[in-house]
Amino acid sequence: MSDAGLAVIGVTACNQELGLHPFNIVGEKYLLAIADATKGWPLVIPALGHCPSELILPRLDGILFTGSPSNIEPHHFQGEASEADTHHDPKRDATTLPLLKAAIEAGIPVLAICRGFQEMNVVYGGSLHQKLHQVGGFIEHREDKSTAVEVQYGISHEVQIEPGGLLHDAWGRSSAEVNSVHTQGVDRLGVGLRPEAYAPDGLVEAFSIKEAKNFALGVQWHPEWKVLNNAFYTSIFNAFSDACERRAKRRVR
């Protein structure tokens, strides 16, 4: 294992202006999920608009691609221009999209959550509905922002889990209940992605990468939220942790 006895797990940051200066920030819930629910320690990967993946990937045992208030710029998936008030983060796009592809090719275990899930779909040639609630045929996937955060991240709907995949192997059951705090969703599924779970309206809410050399799972919901209080969410982080621990042991031989 690594020198500190822990797997080193990268966590992607967002680039956001606070006051007069740009900051690289990560939601604490993602860092706590790594610290509390894995045998690893988080290391923040800044969104500077570039990333020397050939230098950092050999030093990492896994990467968590986080959720974010921002959306991927639609030109990355040949989508129509987004509405003027849409929150984008071009430096994150320029950092995480190539990093995700490089991590998968290098056999780094990857867990991608919400925006990270959407990044994975886009990297593999998929596209996104920018506003699911305007498409028709979908249930309400957005949170009620007028409620307390515990309500916003509370259980929202069930997902049906496909047999034989990473998610089913981790959980051992064919369904689970999840939260739902997203506006965008999968339109066209990326090439080589295997659906792992569906929402009641048929929306793909989890997938894995068929030809990945290691653990590579994307989920649309937020399993990092109070992960230790939810057995399903814990099972996801346990599976990710096991893959990171195996890589850590190999990396330091």
3-state secondary structure 53-102: HHHHHHHCCEEEECCCCCECCHHHHCCCCCCCCCCECHHHHHHHHHHHHH
Q: Which residue is catalytic, options 162, 224, 244, 245?
A: 224
Selected catalytic residue, list 14, 222, 244, 245: 222
Residue 224 is among the residues annotated as catalytic for this protein: yes
Instruction: Answer positive or negative: Cα dihedral of 219, 106, 101, 196.
Output: negative
150 belongs to the catalytic site: no
Does the active-site annotation cover 17? no
From the candidates 14, 51, 114, 244, give the one annotated as an active-site residue: 114
Q: Catalytic residue numbers? A: 114, 222, 224
